Amino acid sequence: MKTALLLLTLILSANAQIAGDKAAERRVFNLDIDNNVDPNRHAEVLQLLELSGVREKLEAQKRSMVEDGRKKLMEKCTKCAPEFGNEWARLVLARMKTQDFMNVYAKAYEKYLTRDDIAELLAIQKKTKAHEKAETSPRLQEKLRSVLPSLMGDVMGGCVKIGAEIGGKASEEVAREHPEYIRTTHEQ
C-alpha cells in the first residue's frame, strides 16, 4: 500500500502542467507540526514511524518513484525533449525530502490515534523488533479498522500535495531555464 501511495504521488506530480501554471505559485503546503500537538506525542509518533520502517521504505523507493514519474511525464508531455524529463527527475529527486513525507504520516497518526493507541503500537513494534510475540488489543484492532481508511486517505492526500508541488515547480523551472527542451510544433 505504501508503494502504491508513493508511486501515485509521483505520477500525479508528473501530470502537473509543464509551464505557466499560476496555480502552482499560489499553492502553499504547510508541513509544520500542528501547534496543538503535544511535542512528546509527536516524538512518539515519529518513533513509531521509524520503528515501523516507514523512513527506510520511503528512502528505498525514491529513485524508482522519480523514474516512474519521469516516464509518466514524458508520456503526457509530447512536446518535451528527453532532456526535459531528465532535468525534471534530477530536480525532483534533489528536492524530495523524506522528512516531508514522514511529517504527513505523523500528522495523520496524530489526527486519528490517541496517545494510548500510539503507546500500544510502539510496544507492539518494539516486541516485534525483539522477535517477541506481540498482540494487538481488541480495542486497538477495532479502532484501526475504523480509522485506517481515513488515516490512509489523509496520508495519500498529503503525499500527493507534496509530489504535485515539487513536480509542478520542477516543471516550471525546467521550462523557464531550458526552453530548448520544449519542442515547437514544427520540430515534432
How confident is the model at residue 83, as a pLDDT?
A: 96
Domains contained in the chain, number: 1
Question: Residue 87 and residue 21: Cα distance in Å, rounded?
Answer: 18
What 11-14 contacts at long range (C-beta under 8 Å, 24+ apart), as own/partner pairs, is: 11/68, 11/69, 11/72, 12/160, 12/163, 12/164, 12/167, 13/69, 13/92, 13/160, 13/163, 13/164, 13/165, 13/166, 13/167, 13/168, 14/69, 14/70, 14/71, 14/72, 14/73, 14/76, 14/167
Q: What is the pLDDT of residues 28-37, one digit of tens each?
A: 344 444 557 7
How confident is the model at residue 140, as a pLDDT?
A: 95
Residue 184 pLDDT class (50, 70, 90 cuts): confident
pTM of the prediction?
0.76
Q: Domain range spanning residue 118?
A: 2-187
Q: Which of 12-16, 77-81, 83-87, 173-177 has the lowest mean pLDDT?
A: 12-16
Q: 133 or 11, which is more confident? A: 133
How confident is the model at residue 36, as a pLDDT?
A: 74
How confident is the model at residue 183, as a pLDDT?
A: 85
Beta bridge pairs of residue 187: none
Q: 187 or 157, which is more confident? A: 157
Q: 52 or 25, which is more confident? A: 52
Q: What is the pLDDT of residues 52-98, one digit of tens each?
A: 999 999 999 999 999 999 999 999 999 999 999 999 999 999 999 99
Straight-line distance from the first to the last Cα atom of the chain, in angstroms, rounded to the nearest whole number: 39
Q: 114 or 28, which is more confident? A: 114
176 SS3 class: helix
Return the amino acid letter for 99. Answer: Q
